[in-house]
Amino acid sequence: MHVVVLGTGMIGTTVVSELAKFTEIDLITAVDVRQESIDKCLEISNSPKVIGKVASLETKEDIADVLIGVDVVVACLPHSLSLVAIKAAIESKCHLVDLVGSMFKEKVELHEAARDAGVIIVPGCGVAPGITNFLAAQGIEMLEEAEEVVMICGGIPRHPVPPLWYQVVFRLESVLGLYTKPAIAVENGELVELAPLSGLEKMTFPQPVGNCEAVITDAHSTAYILKDRVKNLYEKTVRYPGHWGKMNVLGELGFLDNNPVTVAGVTITPRAFAEQVLGPKMLGASHEDVTVLRVEASGLKDGISTKFTWEMVDLYDHERKITSMAKTTAIPAAIMAKWIACKKIIETGVVPIESLIVKERFQPFMGELNNLGVQIDFKEEIIL
């Protein structure tokens, strides 16, 4: 089986390294626009099954060129190239696992085209979206009547420093999207659009994390797929206390806007300026990070008010020498690519992970996550 990985940043390189461990995968091609990035990926993966290829990834035709004769592709690309990669995969009749969960409405419009091509497209297959999605779906599956599901996740520094108590663990472009994009959620069984940074809530996680806060962010595909099976559904993103208030002020003042302004004869968007200013403030005190996750599903089970909770506190991986965010994002995508290659997944079309990893597939997938170092605890409790 031949798998291509598009993009060899930290997450893409981790996907390549994990795929190389699977005996079911014969060949992995790591594709990037920069030779130095590929060289680093090959050094880290250190496997004879991995080869590198320099290629442009800007257009559908560029991507389609590298997918000829490929079984599965894992897209570790910026949000702006997600839809392009999906269209290229469909045209090339190649299965695709995508880390990006945004633009779900546009992606699902390609469902019939993907089915006609005989391929499956799995959008949002990381940690959040990804793991949180199928935990939410499984929680609903385990309840007779689902009242509320809350998906909570965040990548935060192991050693936070002022003024923002945060460090970038993936693309800053994606981070700032959280602060400005309206959030799709489910309330009373209906899709709703909520203002950015709304629903501020204090919460705690086990040590070494402690006190945190979270706001509602976009629930992506889960809102559309699960809205008819649960009364209320939200996604929330975690930061350390004080962070969201500071970013809210910047948003209110317009520093995160995309409308161009002209300063001293130079036209620039406030967000582009903010990225340059905020980037150095989000480097953190070290490269160590923590990924926290909590999914709560509450409702009736056997006529009794019950809540299921899945929780993860994952630290920087010293053995792999990668961030927790890279590990917990890459490993679900690598497992999904393997399952598709081995025909454990046989559906076709645009199918989000919450429609795939439920019922009989749930425990085996969770088992593989655990075996690869992504440990998620579970508890069931009666709500009094």
Quick: pLDDT tens for 47-104. 999 999 999 999 999 999 999 999 999 999 998 999 999 999 999 999 999 999 999 9
DSSP annotation string for 63-74: HHHTTTT-SEEE
122: helix, strand or coil: strand
Q: What does the pLDDT read at residue 69?
A: 93
Quick: pLDDT tens for 139-167. 999 999 999 999 999 999 999 988 889 98
- Percentage of residues in the chain having pLDDT higher than 70: 99
Of 278, 310, 275, nearest to 127 by C-alpha is: 310
Environment class of residue 111 by beta-carbon count within 10 Å: exposed (0-12), middle (13-18) or buried (19+)?
A: middle
Longest dimension (CA), the chain: 68
Report the chain's mean pLDDT, rounded to a whole number: 95
- Percentage of residues in the chain having pLDDT higher than 90: 86
CA-CA distance, 203 to 240, in Å (whole number)? 10
Residues 6+ apart with CB under 8 A from 287: 316, 323
Q: What's the rounded mean pLDDT across residues 5-27?
A: 96
Say whether pLDDT at 221 is over 90.
yes
Query: Where does the pLDDT of residue 179 fall: very low under 50, low under 70, confident under 90, or very high at 90 and above?
Result: confident
CA-CA distance, 328 to 315, in Å (whole number)? 10
Specify the higher pLDDT residue, 282 or 382: 382
Q: What does the pLDDT read at residue 169?
A: 67
CA-CA distance, 367 to 357, in Å (whole number)? 12
Q: What does the pLDDT read at residue 294?
A: 98
Quick: pLDDT tens for 90-128. 999 999 999 999 999 999 999 999 999 999 999 999 999
CA-CA distance, 278 to 164, in Å (whole number)? 9
Q: What does the pLDDT read at residue 276?
A: 87
Say whether pLDDT at 170 is over 70.
no
Query: Where does the pLDDT of residue 275 fall: very low under 50, low under 70, confident under 90, or very high at 90 and above?
Result: confident
88: helix, strand or coil: helix
Say whether pLDDT at 284 is over 80.
no
pTM of the model: 0.95
